[in-house]
Amino acid sequence: MKYKRILLKLSGEALMGKKQFGIDTNLLAEYASEIKIAVDNGVEVAIVIGGGNIFRGLQAAEGGMDRVQGDYMGMLATVINSMALQSALESIGVSTRLQSAIKMEAICEPFIRRRAVRHLEKGRVVIFGAGTGNPYFTTDTAASLRAIEIEADVILKGTRVDGIYTADPEKDKTAIRYSKITFTEVYEKNLQVMDMTAFTLCQENKLPIIVFDMNKSGNLKRIVDGEEIGTLVDF
């Protein structure tokens, strides 16, 4: 096993599957089974999920809504997704804990770093909801921050594409995939991996990122076993 403790970042849009909105329960079940395989192999798994399948604060701000209000609504959307994933995991026997950056005692624990690490050490999957708890920060930034706090070995960014390309592969058929790229090269080529705050946090704290296709069965286990899947951003 190459990675002992990982932070898996999932986009809210990924949970939609082929739907236009909301959560594809079949896809959610597939994600849960992939995560279970990693846990059963001794990997400590923490997860951050976006909320774009339900609500996106930035888009609401563009429509005239107060940005801060919109961002808080987006954070609540991530909690809904986190609860859905927690339910899917527990239905197949995976022990989980949901921690939120915004206090919601009835449904989840508050985020406490030491408690989160203890849960991981006991083999529980820890899902971090509500982003950083602050407006103007994305769930990418929350993923980077939590990964650094829990001393994860790597951030695994699960997407619909199988890595980082020279251009958007869904729009440009001539785009070439990188198997490995440095943080500096990502800056120089202006590639969109994460937002700049999240990306800089990873660089400053020497935390590698792997961008991979989460929808391909077995990819998560192959990565933690050390196979070169997707694109590795390193130094």
CATH number of 5-234: 3.40.1160.10
Angle between helical axes of 196-204 and 139-149 (0-180°, round to 10) = 20
Q: Is the pTM of this model over 0.75?
A: yes
> How confident is the model at residue 93, as a pLDDT?
98
Distant-in-sequence, close-in-space partners of 189: CB < 8 Å, separation ≥ 6: 166
> How confident is the model at residue 167, as a pLDDT?
87
Q: Which long-range CB contacts under 8 A does 102-108 form with residues at least 24 apart? A: 102/72, 102/75, 102/76, 102/130, 102/133, 104/79, 104/130, 107/79, 107/83, 108/79, 108/82, 108/83
Say if CB 137 and CB 197 are below 8 A apart.
Answer: yes
> How confident is the model at residue 56, as a pLDDT?
78
**What is the Cα–Cα distance from 181 to 191, expressed in whole angstroms?**
11
**What is the Cα–Cα distance from 51 to 8, expressed in whole angstroms?**
15
Give the C-alpha distances (Å, rounded to integers) separating 67 from 62, 63, 131, 132, 134.
8, 10, 15, 16, 12
CB atoms within 10 A of CB 31: 24
**What is the Cα–Cα distance from 74 to 72, expressed in whole angstroms?**
5
Which stretches of the chain score pLDDT less than 50?
A: none
CB atoms within 10 A of CB 159: 19
Angle between helical axes of 139-149 and 113-121 (0-180°, round to 10) = 70
Closest CA to 193 of 180, 61, 32: 180
CB atoms within 10 A of CB 65: 14
